[in-house]
Structure 1
Amino acid sequence: MMRDKNWEQSLYDHQHIMIKHLDIHRQKERTEPLSTDERMAVEHAFQLLVASMLDFARYVLEHHYNHKVNTREEVLEALIKHKDVTYEQGQQIEALIELRNKILNDYLNENFELLSSALALRRYALVEVLTKEWTNRLDSL
């Protein structure tokens, strides 16, 4: 299967924009509470960012290891199996996935406290780091 370098670059650019948006909200939240619309925007950007990381990981697993993963839920296990992430990265990815799932599946409850602490730690920056690492891995083939 052929790589789609335009898609890879577009995904990276999109992730970079989402991270910038999250950074803006993270900075603002330190000085004043976010409005309901801003909180929803942060949740949406966070969900998209984590989903894009998982989709890119699936793409890498398929193109680098010839390993087909059918669902996003299987991605982390496959990355660990192929020793494609460190233990710490695996732990962080798991935390990002869990938070995304809480926001996605339990959207009526207040999960913003959890998201707010994830923003404060800037955990989402890992997505951009991994995308660069995985792109380099694909380039080395």
Structure 2
Amino acid sequence: MRDKAWEQSLYEHQHAMIKRLDIHRQKERSTSLSQDEVMAVEHTFQLLVASMLDLAIYVLQHHYDVSIERRDQVLDALIKHQDVTFEQGEQIKVLVELRQKILFDYLDENFDELASALSLRRYGLVEILTKEWTARLDNNE
């Protein structure tokens, strides 16, 4: 059974995270960030991508009756059900790979890659997909 309150709450949370990332992206490039600011941007990015994957799992379950147990299975399932375009799939792959680097290679400096992804505003795809997926669920009712 769908939980529209959760869907709305997730969308609002994603929107707030995107606004935070936009603020960072629009900052003067010559302004260096403190370690706390870097960690906050990385954490916001990680949460945003995780929320996209969790929503995709939710949509796959409620729209296609497909059970996905792990986030690393999401992209393949979305492609199999033609739920994303090729370009969207490639963008999701980049976002997920970057999230994985930040999450598991936390001793390495990955902020330059993240800053590059932020400058391209790749994370904006999350909001687009959220709207598309919830609309698909609405049409399924």
Report the TM-score range of the alignment, normalised by the length of the smaller protein.
Answer: over 0.9
1:134 aligns with 2:128: no
1:8 aligns with 2:20: no
Aligned residue for 1:127, secondary structure, equals: helix
Gapped regions of structure 2 (runs ≥ 5): none
Matched letter for residue 45 of structure 2: F
Task: Give every structure 1 segment of 4 or more consecutive aligned residues whose post-TM-superposition deviation is greater than 4 Å.
Answer: none
Gapped regions of structure 1 (runs ≥ 5): none
Identity %: 71
Post-superposition Cα deviations, 1:3-38, rounded to whole Å, max 9, x if no partner, equal 000000000000000000001111115241221111
TM-score (norm 1): 0.98
- CA deviation after TM superposition for structure 1 residue 76, in Å: 0.2
For 1:29 and 1:95, locate their aligned partners in 2 and report how far apart those are by CA, in whole Å: 25
For 1:8 and 1:134, locate their aligned partners in 2 and report how far apart those are by CA, in whole Å: 10
Aligned to 1:74: 73
Aligned to 2:54: 55
**Correspondence list, 1:69-108, <5 A:** 69-108=68-107
Count of residue correspondences = 140
Aligned to 1:120: 119
Aligned to 2:33: 34
For 1:135 and 1:102, locate their aligned partners in 2 and report how far apart those are by CA, in whole Å: 29
For 2:94 and 2:55, locate their aligned partners in 1 and report how far apart those are by CA, in whole Å: 18
For 1:87 and 1:33, locate their aligned partners in 2 and report how far apart those are by CA, in whole Å: 36
The alignment yields a C-alpha RMSD, in angstroms, of 0.7
Matched letter for residue 103 of structure 2: L
- CA deviation after TM superposition for structure 1 residue 107, in Å: 0.4
